[in-house]
Structures are given as C-alpha cells and as structure tokens.
Structure 1
Amino acid sequence: MNEVTEARYELVRGDRLPTGRVCRVQEAPGLAVVQILTGEATERLCDELNEFHRSILIEDRWIQTPITDPDRIEHEAERLGVADAWWELRSDLPANILCVPLEQRARFTWLVRDGEASERLVREMNRYLKRIVGDGLWRQNWPSAN
C-alpha cells in the first residue's frame, strides 16, 4: 500500500524557504509538500499539480519508500539511476493545458506550460527529482505485463 496519501504544492513567502532557494520539498510518512516561492509558479499550476498528484497517489503509481532520515531529500543525489523524472517548460501546450504528465516505465516527465513556472523553479525541481526519483526515495509502481 502506498504510504504517501497526499502530495501538496503550495506557494509560500520567501521567509519560509532557505536563503536563495525558490522551492523546498519536505516529506513525512503519508505526506509530501512542495513549497514554492510566490511568483515562481502560478496558483493555478499548483492547483493542477495537486489534482494530478491526487489521482497518481490514489492509483498507487508511485510509492514513498520508508523514511529513515528526515532530511534525506536534501542530500545530494547519489545518481543511482533508479528512474528519471523531470519538469520541462513547453510553449506548445494548448492555452487551457497548464501541465501534462507523461509516464512510462522508469521515466516521468511533467510538461509545464511556459509562463506557469519560472526556469529557476524548473531547475530546482529537477535537482530534487534527481534525488527523489533517481535515487529511489519514491519508486514507480509500474504494472507488470502479466
């Protein structure tokens, strides 16, 4: 059973983030929170990401591994290559589409409409994803062909 029952994206003031950062990912059993500096993403993108993640987690498509170190996400990526995930800004998405999740075995891409997130936010999120997904802190629960 998937221990992560909620993933939440929220906009926050700068005093809630480490100096010089535009986002932070924090987790606890059953919860993952992505705090984003106000102005680096739109509220509507956060709402859309929250909806997509709700369905992804309900379907148990990604599983949070047991947390043995509460600061594990902040450690440098070990580059284990368990899977790849990243955000990519796109200017060719239809006007009413804010983001699109593309998933296949060992790969997950978030296409994000240009203007909904800053390039700096995308860089920071991609650094987090190298650690979280690349090192297997969260594992894809890909259905077997059987």
Structure 2
Amino acid sequence: MSKTISGRAPVRIAFEIVPESSLPPDKAVALDEVDGLITARIGEGHITPELRAELEELHRTVTQQERWVQTSPELDPHRLEQPAEGLGIAHVAWERVAAGVLPRTVLAAPVERDRMLVWLLHEDHASAQLCAEMSEHGRRIAGDGLWEQRWPA
C-alpha cells in the first residue's frame, strides 16, 4: 500500500453504485465512514459508471496529496448521520454543469481554493438529487470539520 506525505496509508474515498432499494427511502446516496475509509453508496439511477470511476480517481489524488484529511471517526462513529452544525469551516459542494463547460472527455472537474472544494459534474452523468444530497453531506463533513483541508500556506 502506498504512503502519503505524512507516512500513513492514504485515506480512501470509495463510490459504489447500488440498487436504489438498498438506500433509505427517497435518498440518492448513503455514506458510511470508518477510520481510513468513507464510502458513498449511490443509487443506480443517480450516477453513471463512468462518472463514478472518474470521481473515485480524482478523490484518490486529493487524499494521497493530503489536501483533505479525515479527522478520527472513532470518537463518534455515527457523526455523518447528524445534521450539519453550521460551523462553516469549509465549503464542499457538487454542482451539475452543462456538457460544454467541461472539456470534451471530462465528466468531473474539481475547483479548489482555501476552505472550498466544488466538484463540477457533467449534467448527463449525475442527478440533481445526488448533487443536492452530496452538497448537504459536504456541509456536515467539511463545514463542521469532520474532514479538514490542508491547503498549502
């Protein structure tokens, strides 16, 4: 297993496409978190396999470079299930964009700044519901400091 800058094994962010019936009613995504891994289980009608693969690869780069790091979920293993506290530490969102906004073969593009990460997603490959739910998860995860951005000073 490769090591990150800190010498620890990289945290992994995984995306799985699952039957919608395996998710809570009326949900496009469910998140599961353990130390070193967060898994987004996405309903099959809300993301294409091509976008899922691209997002997983892009997130691997972000975590291996330690631009975003997980704080310990062991203190509160159900912390993702709690509503956002509104601390506003950082902003992470998923936004659907028209195909012409992205280069021809690109389905996802991260836009990152200090205290912000926005994922621009090809509108034909992600549902509006998925983007809204992932943005809400971002308000909890990044906004409340469950994951921290390590932007170079």
Same fold (TM over 0.5): yes
8 Å CA contact 1:10–1:35 kept in 2: the answer is yes
Misfit runs of 4+, over 3 Å: 1-4
8 Å CA contact 1:23–1:35 kept in 2: the answer is yes
Q: 1:25-56 deviations in whole A, cap 9, x for unaligned?
A: 11100101011000100011010011011111
1:83 maps onto 2:90 in alignment: yes
Pick from 97, 113, 126 the counterpart of residue 122 of structure 2: 113
| Aligned CA distance change for structure 1 residues 126 and 5 (closer, same or farther; 3 Å) | same
Partner of 2:3: none
8 Å CA contact 2:90–2:143 kept in 1: the answer is yes
1 CA distance for matches of 2:61 and 2:43? 25
1:72 maps onto 2:79 in alignment: yes
Partner of 1:136: 145
| Aligned CA distance change for structure 1 residues 3 and 106 (closer, same or farther; 3 Å) | farther
**Structure 1 residues without counterparts, runs of 5 or longer:** none
2 CA distance for matches of 1:84 and 1:50? 20
1 CA distance for matches of 2:56 and 2:14? 6
2 CA distance for matches of 1:14 and 1:4? 29
Partner of 1:40: 46
Structure 2 SS opposite 1:109: strand
> 1:15 is aligned with what amino acid?
S
> 2:110 is aligned with what amino acid?
P
RMSD: 1.3
> 1:104 is aligned with what amino acid?
R
TM-score, normalising length from structure 1? 0.94
Q: 1:38-89 deviations in whole A, cap 9, x for unaligned?
A: 0100011010011011111111111101111111011110000100110111
> 2:146 is aligned with what amino acid?
L
**Structure 2 residues without counterparts, runs of 5 or longer:** 1-5
